[in-house]
Amino acid sequence: MPASAEHRIGGATHVAGIIGWPVDHSLSPAIHNAAFVAAGLDWVYVPLPVPPPELAHALAGLRALGIDGANVTMPHKTEAAELIDGLSEDARALGAVNTISVRGEQIEGHNTDAPGFDRFLREDAGFDPAGRTALIYGSGGAGRACALALARAGISRLTVAARNEATTDGVRGIATNAGAPLDVIASKDAGGRRFDLVVNATPVGRETEPEHLALPDLDRSVVVVDLLYDPPVTALQRRAEEAGAAAFGGLGLLLHQAALSFELWTGIPAPLDVMSAAALSALADR
């Protein structure tokens, strides 16, 4: 089916979707439906709003309804990992599932965030983590995925800035298992230090008047990534650009992890350029 053809949904159409609460803000339907059309696939991607108490029933219903795959977003990623028996290595390491494949009677739980972040760094930011240093703000799910990607890629030293040290057990375990040297500091103590890569994996910057992060030294040799993609340009990105650093938002990670989900479901390379255009169009319409 050519990309310009009208997509008519029928009895043989494969169905995928996004499980979350809420999901009306998600860019995933626009991204994946554009990809399915561009690839000539008889697939459709729909929102699947699931209240937190109903996740177990929703997962069981995927098989019964003949749904082929799903993404999982907040607040269900951790509970999904607890409910699904067949977990990938990354989903088990992170204790979180963001992608589900339904294959016959088997439900498989995957996590594409760490490899998606690695793809983004190498292909979009042109950054090879091997032998470099990195600072991550945040030790939640996004921070742990970035830490896993960097540890596997041979980061020479990883520093995590967290508001509450009690939340850093997960990232400590990831660093230990990967043999990556790790420092954990308070967020307020990040200022004045020097890193090759700086990643914001917290919600700071989402609001119109954001709380400012205490930033390390920034110059043209530093790559700064804010995992927020809405607003398209965050306060952190502006501050990084003013200092001469290369600054990126979170849309690249969203697209690369989505592309990996697409490839898990379909077995073919994702049309990343089409997915990017669909995401930008959807953001512009907000």
Q: Are 241 and 247 in contact (CB under 8 A)?
A: yes
Active-site residue (options: 77, 110, 152, 256): 77
Query: Can 77 be counted among the known catalytic residues?
Result: yes
Q: Are 10 and 26 in contact (CB under 8 A)?
A: no
- What 104-112 contacts at long range (C-beta under 8 Å, 24+ apart), as own/partner pairs, is 105/63, 107/59, 107/62, 107/63, 108/84, 109/80, 109/81, 109/84, 110/261, 110/264, 111/145, 112/256, 112/257, 112/258, 112/260, 112/261, 112/264
Q: Cβ–Cβ contacts within 10 Å for residue 45, how many?
A: 26
With a CB cutoff of 8 Å and minimum separation 6, the contacts of 189 are 161, 214
With a CB cutoff of 8 Å and minimum separation 6, the contacts of 89 are none
Q: Are 68 and 48 in contact (CB under 8 A)?
A: no
User: Tell me, what amino acid is at 83?
Assistant: L
Q: Are 72 and 101 in contact (CB under 8 A)?
A: no
C-alpha span between 33 and 40 (Å, rounded)? 11
Name the token pair of 226.
Answer: 């804010």
State whether residue 74 is helix, strand or coil: coil
Strands (E), the chain: 14-20, 43-49, 69-72, 86-87, 99-103, 106-110, 133-137, 157-162, 182-186, 197-200, 223-226, 246-248
By annotation, the residues acting in catalysis are 77
